[in-house]
Amino acid sequence: MKTTFSAVLLVMLVAVCSFVNGAEPWRFFVGTYTDRDSRGIYTGTFDAERGTLEKPTLVAECSNPTFFALHPSKPYLYVVTETQKGMLLAFQYNKKSGQLTPLDEKETHGQLACHLAFCPSPNGADGAVVVANYSSGNILSFPILENGKMGAAASDIAHAGSGPNAARQESPHPHGAYFDGTTIAIPDLGIDQVVYYNIDLTTAALSASADHASLRLTPGAGPRHLAASKDRQFTFVVNELDSTVSVFDRRTTKAPELIQTVSTLAEGKDAAALNNTTAEIELHPNGKFLYASNRGDDSIAVFAVNKGKLTFLQNVSSGGKTPRFFCIDPTKRFLLTCNQDTGNICVFKIDQETGTLTPTGQSVDSPRPVCLVFVP
């Protein structure tokens, strides 16, 4: 068959338009618990033009890879394993295929490593990774080398204290690590605090922050994860044990004020009766909407944000059981839930005016999903 010039031109124009409109699917990686049918890290693609998911496929076998961090400018993926001997793993990824090549691994000198943050350096160096060990109650920092590998641990800091919930707060339990450009914030479920550290991005060393006081939660709240406004004036903390979100005004960093605590459940729902615990929290990039997940109620809570204050809008079913994680896609138009116990990932459309969520009907099987990151 003879190919005409006009046909070739048409194909080229379609390709160019697809590139300009961002039609190329987004690559993502999924972390899992491997105590059932999962075997490690999975990958797939998300078509943001259609809101459709590709079923993830296995790309690396490892135990309980439950949280990820991506290098912002190089093809490196960092992974913590929630195992009795916590591990920090580094992989190089192929964006097109999703193939992972192991680069390095380091012990986290603790138990049940559950969260990490990548901290890029502004001076051209590669920065650091900070890891939270849930069970052993300590946090570590590692310098990142130019080749993506990790240097020896620069800091190993143990938290101290306990909370009133004897079953869950018998000791410190750091549950998150968040970098804001100058400091690291560590929500500690066991001691009802968010603790701040300064980080030296040349050496990766951590030190107590004299300029940022700890955020103190209601005793027994159990702070798990957090989100912060772009201007860093407000911090939103999701509390696992009492199913709430607490808002802090941090414009005076030495004396942050707790200005609001709201339930993640609709009026009339009882957290104890539902055996509900919260999990993830995310602020929409436009700063107007906040989302938090409920395990037990198996829902996503939606809030409007106005000058830091929250107004409850909606509980929408997560599309499965135990939404341990969710995230907003890079186009900011969809929210994806990882339902751990039903083994599926579901897609919701975000109303850009109200922030409310509508199920798209898109759901794919994915064994025990508990984390999802999009490749930049």
Domain harbouring 120, CATH code: 2.130.10.10
Residue 310 lies in a domain: no
Provide the H-helix boundaries in 23-168.
none
Domain that holds residue 160: 62-212
Confidence (pLDDT) at 123: 77
Residue 70 lies in a domain: yes
The pTM for the full model equals 0.93
Confidence (pLDDT) at 103: 98
Residue 340 lies in a domain: no
Confidence (pLDDT) at 305: 98
Model confidence over 186-221: pLDDT tens digits?
999 999 999 999 999 999 999 999 999 999 999 999
93: β partners: 100
Give the position of tokens 């341990």.
Answer: 324
Residue 278 lies in a domain: no
Residue 101 lies in a domain: yes
- Lateral strand order in the sheet of 357-365: 323-328, 334-339, 344-350, 357-365
Regions of the chain with pLDDT less than 50: 1-21
Confidence (pLDDT) at 14: 38
Residue 131 lies in a domain: yes
Confidence (pLDDT) at 253: 86
Domain count, the chain: 1
Q: How far apart are the first and last CA of the chain?
A: 40
141: β partners: 130, 155
Residue 206 lies in a domain: yes
Residue 170 lies in a domain: yes
Number of helices and strands in the chain (H, E) = 2, 30
Give the position of tokens 């994806």.
Answer: 336
Written as one letter, the residue type at 370 is: V
Contact 245, 259 (CB under 8 A): no
